[in-house]
Amino acid sequence: MDLALSEEQTLVVDNVRRFVREEIEPLEASLDPDADELPADDYRRLVDKTRAMGLYGLDIPVAYGGPDIDLVTRTLIAIETAQHRAGLYAPCYGVFGGAGLAQLFEATEAQKERYLFPMLRGEKKGFFGLTEPSGGSDPARAIQTRAVRDGDDWVINGGKIFISGADRADFGLVFARTDPERGRAGVTCFIVDTDMPGFHVRRVVHTLRAARYATELGFEDLRVPHANVLGEVGGGFAIANDRLSRQRIPYAAGCIGVAIKAHEMALAYVPQRETFGAPLSSRQAIQWMLVDNEIDIRNARWLTLEAAHRAERGEDFRKEAAMAKLVATEAGSRVVDRCIQMFGGYGVTKDLPLERWYREMRIRRIGEGPSEVQRHIIARDLLGASLR
């Protein structure tokens, strides 16, 4: 893998970095420290700018109006777009756009007309409904929501939890068990409109992170047309698994971006802060924290770019994506924690973004599969059939 950026990649990265520094960071100075949205006028203005830059809708295929940007370059961009206060859960506040539910690119033409195209135009919002109260780390076995065929419809009963944005969505992908005897092959994905009778947002689930929250959903005799099955009956787990594997790469990249920004802040601060007549940067304890930061960041960056390279070449990348997600989330957490320590009391105030990153990085070690699941995926690849 060549670590050197091409001339085009360098130009793109520089443009995105300048955009974050000149357009996003100044706006954040006037926002609530936990904000995850921009004022409407600023949002529209910045969307126009990213469109003019040719960088709107980065993960949208060219056939659907997206830019022709490879996955490695998109990963480099994701590292840059995370380098601001709200960088983990609102990368540049959505002004770079995105596909959202990429599974819909494989939908039928009728489904694309009703859901995908309006979503790409910003007319509809969707959610991804996989995790259940019975557990999220092993979705193939934990899914207890049932869907039973009734003529041309499916009747769904059950519930989901920790679902982001469902209370503000127009539709969502809901995974339900259609055959209780077939394990992974018994899970099907349904496109569900949130105004269908039987769909309920039971409650908002407030989590450790601040502005963003999750929801708990309930389905009571929710009747969904067979035409709203996404893919094949029994093919839902494959749809979910592909999404989870691919999402781990930008997920890791965001953690790297935050770690880089926190590290830069510490590097600028410690030479200026004096203790006992000498700058903090002269203390070996501080120097070693900075060294450990640098090593953590470089390790995470290498693994994440390797996963992106393999995925871009069409090779199996599941192990590499798991390694990237595992290392980037854990290393990023360590970097932010060290930087808070170097800033002392200021590090835990809302004057700085460190305390927000600290909370949000903790979530990242669970989301998209916790660290323990990533280790299991890697071990399964290493040991193969000998792992039970």
Bridge partners (DSSP) of residue 154 are 149, 224
Same domain, yes or no, for 221 and 244? no
Strands 126-129 and 187-193: unpaired
| Beta strand pairing call for 126-129 and 171-177 | parallel
Q: Do 243 and 382 fall within a single domain?
A: yes
Q: What CA–CA distance (Å, rounded) separates 120 from 99?
A: 7
Calpha distance 31→350 (Å, rounded): 12
Cα torsion angle, 6, 9, 15, 16, sign: negative
Give the pLDDT score at 78. 96
Domain-terminating residue out of 200, 230, 260: 230
Give the residue numbers marked as catalytic. Answer: 368
The tens digit of pLDDT for each residue in 21-74 reads: 999 999 999 999 999 889 999 999 999 999 999 999 888 888 888 888 999 999
* pTM of this structure: 0.92
- pLDDT mean over 94-122: 89
State the total domains in the chain: 3
**In residues, how long is the chain?**
388
The more confidently predicted of residues 96 and 212 is 96
Could you tell me if 253 and 366 lie in one domain? yes
Instruction: Tell me how far apart the alpha carbons of residues 224 and 236 are, in angstroms, rounded to a whole number.
Output: 15
| 52 and 134 part of one domain | no
Whichever domain contains 178, its CATH number is 2.40.110.10
Range of the domain at 81: 7-104
- For the segment 174-186, the average pLDDT, to the nearest whole number, is 90
- What distance, in Å, lies between the first and last C-alpha atoms of the chain? 33
Question: What's phi and psi for 276, nearest 5 deg?
Answer: 55, 40
Q: Are 342 and 270 in contact (CB under 8 A)?
A: yes
